[in-house]
């Protein structure tokens, strides 16, 4: 991976035939976040029928066209190898932004050197808070959820900053040197659980994840794994890979011997 050259933020977005969503997101970024963005790296993972003009934005938009579709981790790792910013923002295309979210997240990371990753509060289109800040999963919890139970999630009040075990990967702001040190996302997870694994490895390296309640993004969720058997198989295989990994065993051991985190 290349060394960062600028102090701003490089945004990585991957489109899976979602260019209409991407255009809306880029407009949002230009309206609210352009002062902190060095560049946007847009990866087209599938052929797009939507004609896209990457010029004319207040920040450069660099386009990568895949000849063969790649997984979530491989796409963002490839984009990260080309970034010029000191911070990398991994961002899903199915988000809408109505405020400057990047500056507050970056300020939290500047204020707390122990924080290696920051994420905003995520709400759905109806304004309901999504459970994007969570405890590390446990097999029994997953089984309970399959039978109608709910995942444990970290609760926040007001504008508090909390420090969950992991945050869902629809929007992650990461220090580029740390991303490089951890060798990026684990590409063995083709889809799902890359965020859980990365947060676990980040914690094992002595860093923390900050969930910044005062910053909000809207997630226009697709929930593909709930409807498509192929995506459901990817979800289940990724879950099994994580539970059988040394990363999971090590982070569970660390948690059992570690006092609760505070600043």
Q: What is the pLDDT of residue 1?
A: 46
What domains appear along the chain, each with residue ranges and CATH number?
A: 9-257 (3.90.550.10)
Q: For 101-115, 124-138, 145-159, 202-216, which range has the lowest pLDDT when averaged over its residues?
A: 145-159
Query: Residue 205 is encoded by which pair of tokens?
Result: 């390296």
DSSP state of 8: S
Q: What is the structure's pLDDT at 180? A: 96
pLDDT surpasses 90 at 8: yes
Res 18 pLDDT > 90? yes
Lowest mean pLDDT across 33-42, 103-112, 127-136:
127-136
In tens, the pLDDT along 126-160 reads 999 998 999 998 887 766 666 666 767 777 667 88
The pLDDT of residue 192 is above 50: yes
Q: Judge whether residue 64 has pLDDT over 80.
A: yes
Mean pLDDT value of segment 188-195: 93
């Amino acid at each position: 991976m290349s060394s960062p050259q600028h102090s701003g933020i490089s945004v990585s977005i991957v489109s899976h035939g979602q260019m209409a969503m991407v255009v809306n997101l880029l407009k949002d970024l230009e309206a609210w976040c352009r002062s902190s963005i060095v560049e946007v790296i847009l990866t087209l993972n599938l052929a797009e029928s939507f004609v896209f003009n990457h010029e004319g934005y207040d920040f450069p938009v660099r386009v990568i066209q895949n000849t063969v579709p790649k997984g979530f981790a491989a796409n963002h790792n490839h984009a990260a190898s080309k970034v010029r910013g000191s911070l990398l923002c991994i961002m899903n295309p199915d988000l809408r932004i109505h405020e400057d979210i990047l500056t507050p997240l970056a300020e939290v990371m500047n204020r707390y050197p122990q924080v290696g990753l920051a994420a905003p509060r995520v709400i759905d289109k109806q304004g309901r808070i999504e459970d994007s800040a969570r405890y590390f999963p446990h097999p029994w919890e997953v089984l309970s959820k399959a039978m109608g139970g709910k995942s444990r999630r970290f609760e926040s009040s007001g504008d508090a900053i909390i420090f969950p075990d992991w945050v869902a990967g629809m929007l992650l702001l990461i220090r580029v040197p740390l991303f490089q040190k951890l060798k990026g996302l684990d590409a063995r997870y083709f889809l799902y659980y890359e965020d859980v694994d990365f947060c676990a490895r980040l914690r094992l390296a002595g860093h923390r994840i900050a969930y910044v309640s005062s910053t909000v993004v809207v997630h226009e969720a697709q929930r593909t794994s709930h409807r498509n058997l192929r995506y459901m198989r990817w979800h289940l295989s990724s879950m099994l890979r994580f539970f059988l990994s040394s990363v999971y065993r090590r982070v569970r051991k660390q948690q059992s011997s570690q006092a609760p985190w505070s600043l």
